[in-house]
Copies of this chain bind each other. A is one copy, B any other.
Amino acid sequence: MESRRDVFQAIADPTRRAIIMLLAVSAMTPNGLAEHFNSSRQAVSKHLQILTECEVVSPESRGREIFYHINTQKMTEIEKWLEQFKLLMSRKFDQLDNVLNKLQNRKQ
């Protein structure tokens, strides 16, 4: 539970993805979240720790409860990466188009 700590690592685990979805609807406490899963409260707490470390989530203390909120901003990193990917893909098709155009020009 130490090293690689980024958004992609954060969403790799299905339980963490479920936590993210729940928190997207409303901020919740570890106990509140744990009710939705089979694993123990401490297990959920560990996931929250990981999510906090990569800033996907941030804790807000209210009395003895801690509400965890989604950090939307961090989630956009995934989107950025996907955009980059799609850009590279589209360029590939552009190059293919160029090849096809040249072939067509030769035929003319």
Query: A residues near B, CB below 8 A?
Result: 4, 6, 8-9, 11-12, 14, 17, 20-21, 24-26, 70, 72, 75, 78-79, 81-82, 84-85, 88-89, 91-92
Contact = CB atoms under 8 A, between A and B. Distances in A.
A85 B20 contact: yes
Copies of this chain present: 2
Contact of A8 (B12, B75, B85, B88): B12
B8 A81 contact: no
Contact of A82 (B4, B6, B82, B88): B82
Contacts of A82: 75, 78-79, 82
Contacts of A17: 8, 81
B9 A92 contact: no
